[in-house]
A and B are shown apart, each in its own frame.
Chain A
Amino acid sequence: MTGTLTLTHFSAALLFSIFASIVFGITQRNTARDQIRYGFYCFCMFIGGVFVGGWLMWLLRR
């Protein structure tokens, strides 16, 4: 691999959340509707966790 991809912490977390949510949604639920709902739920929890973690670290740093 010659080129180096540099992502910000947030964009890396966003990509991670998208792919992990797709796999969680497909593998953890049976019907298509439930899979989409659960995938979306996981994505929201991942992104929510990023923001909560970010604010906690900001508070700890003060």
Chain B
Amino acid sequence: MANSTTSKRAVAPPLNVLSVVAPAIGWLIPGAGHLIQKRWIRGFLLLASVVVMFILGLLMQGHVYKPNGGDILNILGFIGDLGSGGLYIVSLAKDLGQGAIAHASADYGTKFMFVAGLLNFISVADAYHISIGKKS
């Protein structure tokens, strides 16, 4: 019984340099985690999807959430936006997306940027799975 329990225990994936670098660079530059692992088409499609969504959000006058400790929705907004990595850092540095959400398009834009960040979190996890050999 004890042996069968032991044999069923999940084995920790081997940690290598790529399994740390790929998610990190994939967060900073969307799709780059796949590109450095030579998944060219997937990488460019992820890059295009996340970047275009984020830029469309900015063009629609969406709101970029800053780090905050206030309302739970604002905190979640910040976490979502943070997923975009470099795009989020640049938009904060350039002071973009700081207007009020005054019309429907701005609300759509805010959601576009939020979801772009969440999609990038998923692609970061995918880059990690590829790096440890869990996915081809």
Give the interface of A toward B (CB within 8 A): 1, 3-7, 9, 12, 15-16, 19-20, 22-24, 26-27, 30-31
Q: Say whether, besides A1-B96, A4-B61, A26-B126, A19 and B52 are in contact (CB < 8 Å).
A: yes
Q: Which residues of the partner chain B approach A26 to less than 8 Å between Cβ atoms?
A: 42, 45-46, 123, 126
**CB atoms of A30 and B135 under 8 A apart:** yes
**CB atoms of A27 and B122 under 8 A apart:** yes
Interface size on B, residues (CB 8 A): 30
Q: Which among B49, B112, B116, B135 has the highest number of chain A CB atoms within 10 Å?
A: B49
**CB atoms of A7 and B108 under 8 A apart:** yes
| A23 and B84 alpha carbons, distance in the complex (Å) | 14
**CB atoms of B59 and A23 under 8 A apart:** no
Q: With contacts A16-B53, A26-B42, A27-B123 known, what are 8 further pairs, Cβ within 8 A?
A: A1-B59, A4-B61, A5-B60, A15-B56, A19-B52, A24-B122, A30-B136, A31-B136
